[in-house]
Amino acid sequence: MLEGKVAIVSGAAQGLGEAFARKLAQEGADVLAFDVKDTVADVAKKIAAETGRKVVGMKADVSKRSDVEKVVAKAVEMGGVDILVNNAGTHRKTPVDSSWEQAVADWDFIMDTNFKGVLMLSRACVPHMKEKGGDIVNISTYYVLPARSDGTNQPDTDLYNASKWALNGFTDSWSKSLEEFGIRVNALCMGATDTPMLRGIFPNGEYPADFAKLVMKPEQIAQQMIDLFKDGRTGENIGAWVGYPVEVGPRKAPNKRISGVA
């Protein structure tokens, strides 16, 4: 489905980013996979060997403008930018009664990657996407959607939550301003998905037995992304909830697409 396309995936050394990179390559795209971790090079080699696609692994930090520019220049060398997956994200607990110093340090750490990184990478890509059109996918969280079986917005991760709520502004504004160029902008808003980040939240990295049965797999979310491309909609927050089928679902009414309808 994606033959001849070039995709950029941020934070692709593990977890959801690795699954997105693999799925895009399986669907025929060439992929520029980058991460702050060196191991992204090995992950890229493995995906290239599995799929026969060109998959380039680059060590780069999405919160650094010069790194972002190098990533996009490399993608342009590979043929352009058709798909951008803004996946790189960091998670930290910042209880509201934590120290001023911790709150401000966490603000910089989280926002530089989860929010400013998305701004810089997307802005660097858009000029290259305008001629052919394409897809921007922001990786958000179900916290920005109405609660289903589980509550949203964990109380001790206020900055992480805020960084993902902030993405709503980008998803909504860009989907409107880039529609005339055939650039679709959506967000995937998943609940608990089995990745190193999620395991890091649990003691010894182990899920409680009942939860382990329910937690979603990154491959399910990657398939949801491909289904979203096939659907061709823009400007939506697409949810994925633990215990429910992972699907794109019916299109939302324009005034419901960002707040979401569960």
Ligand X SMILES: NC(=O)c1ccc[n+]([C@@H]2O[C@H](COP(=O)([O-])OP(=O)(O)OC[C@H]3O[C@@H](n4cnc5c(N)ncnc54)[C@H](O)[C@@H]3O)[C@@H](O)[C@H]2O)c1
The footprint of ligand X (CB under 6 A) covers 10-11, 13-17, 35-37, 61-63, 87-91, 113, 117, 139, 141, 190, 192-193, 195-198
Q: Which is nearer to ligand X, 103 or 197 (CB)?
A: 197
Residue 160 annotated as catalytic: yes
For 13-40, give one letter per residue: b (16+ CB within 10 A) or e.
bbbbbbbbbbbbbbbebbbbbbbbeeeb
Q: Please, what is the minimum distance in Å from the beta carbon of residue 131 to ligand X?
A: 27
Q: Which is nearer to ligand X, 117 or 134 (CB)?
A: 117
**Long-range contacts formed by 56-60: CB under 8 A, 24+ apart:** 56/30, 56/31, 56/32, 57/12, 57/33, 58/32, 58/33, 58/34, 59/34, 59/35, 60/34, 60/35, 60/36
Query: 158-177 vs 117-129: helix axis angle to the nearest 10?
Result: 20
Q: Please, what is the minimum distance in Å from the beta carbon of residue 13 to ligand X?
A: 4
Q: Please, what is the minimum distance in Å from the beta carbon of residue 143 to ligand X?
A: 8
Those residues whose C-beta lies under 8 Å from the C-beta of residue 255, and which sit 6 or more positions away, are none
The DSSP annotation for 8-19 comes to EEES-SSHHHHH
Q: Please, what is the minimum distance in Å from the beta carbon of residue 185 to ligand X?
A: 16
Q: Which is nearer to ligand X, 93 or 130 (CB)?
A: 93
Q: Which is nearer to ligand X, 217 or 233 (CB)?
A: 217
**Long-range contacts formed by 63-70: CB under 8 A, 24+ apart:** 63/112, 63/113, 63/116, 63/117, 63/120, 65/120, 67/34, 68/117, 68/120, 68/121, 68/124, 69/124
Q: Please, what is the minimum distance in Å from the beta carbon of residue 76 to ligand X?
A: 19
Q: Which is nearer to ligand X, 181 or 207 (CB)?
A: 207
Question: Which positions are annotated as active-site residues?
Answer: 160
